[in-house]
Structure 1
């Protein structure tokens, strides 16, 4: 049994913490005695979530802006002390065919999902390495181990997060700073709204991802896939010849899940928000 008592008193920063996986993780860690700081680009939502849960620190954070990110971390350390854990959770997942994706949206996906993770990791390492202590957790996706029509740029961003995290893990081995990645399947959050999981799979609940992160912090494990079944399928398919793996994906319905099978009405609010077209 993993000893989660070591989480008590830890200063934890979570990006994209106003909702979904970020908020569920913040709540789970707060229950274990961690000092929580959440940041989010949605200033109204982060203030509402932070106040409702009585987190120690909460406020606006743009992970694509170096000054915003650095100032946020500085303020957390002034208020709560040295940061023990950074969870790079902020990310967006617009759906649709690449040819229909505006260039500005392509850049936005990469800026948030990739550059935001790199920037956050860099800023956290600068604080953690001199203390020989700390843990950086990057929220990737099982999409980073496979290819799903309708998510081309998102897939690319999560492949990048995995490669980046695995490289940092070796680059800073022995430094006292742990680098980990979490690979969720489709999750029941706003990000997954209007999408039905492919056959044989089920969407995860954000609380399941939060539980995996709690266990990861306690064990300093480098990688975890959620759900277990989805993770096993992803790994097996990855070992098969390409034609066989692609055929399995088609048989499960993955080629339609994020295109023809999307409930556009149910997904509209999320798509408008991440595309910046909210009224």
Structure 2
């Protein structure tokens, strides 16, 4: 069979073949979008995107696989305090890397950052137009992060994120100052580097999160991901009664999607009957 031009039969066969693997339905949709994009870039025009039988096939695959119930958990301010103690007492991480990791964690939390906004793509390479560099961070009274690009900024207009001191034990400004005191920074290199000069990556953040939470005896460590800082910041902000519009602005959400990240604290749920009983007629 010739891969291109795409036909209804070849596309359906390919998707049903993938459906027998361990890939999720969401991944299958990404694969389908990729082959259609390659088809168009090869100069072919086709209505395969609108094919009704392909649509029904994908719906059947979705129903057969079901929707995975793997809700990721947020790293709230309480867990941040626990992480701080666990990092400080880690027996095998050097002081430089302890300071670097804690600075990255606090920056991600208070800045409502996506992991792609503060790490390098690999431990040895980076794109200066997409990676947070040392030159992009200014630390005086506040931390000012010059974010060059993000998921919701495809035209790279950029924006500045201001993080003030928290006046508590968990403080991004103090953490960054402590890291800079131990790190010989270079303006044009990624902001977060290990003592061996490797850059901080998504995988490194994920590995350290799970290792630290495991050491802290936190259950379900596999349900915490690099995105848990961002969702945890939104959850903590809601628990602190920050208004919805402010949470949306802090996380740079264009829609109300941020509401799916917020885990309503049990204390708020338990307070509902009392609030309802006090409601005026």
Shorter-chain TM-score bucket reads under 0.3
Q: Normalization by structure 2: what TM-score?
A: 0.24
- Structure number with higher relative contact order (C-alpha < 8 Å, ≥ 6 residues apart): 2
Q: Normalization by structure 1: what TM-score?
A: 0.24
* Structure richer in strand, relative to its length: 1
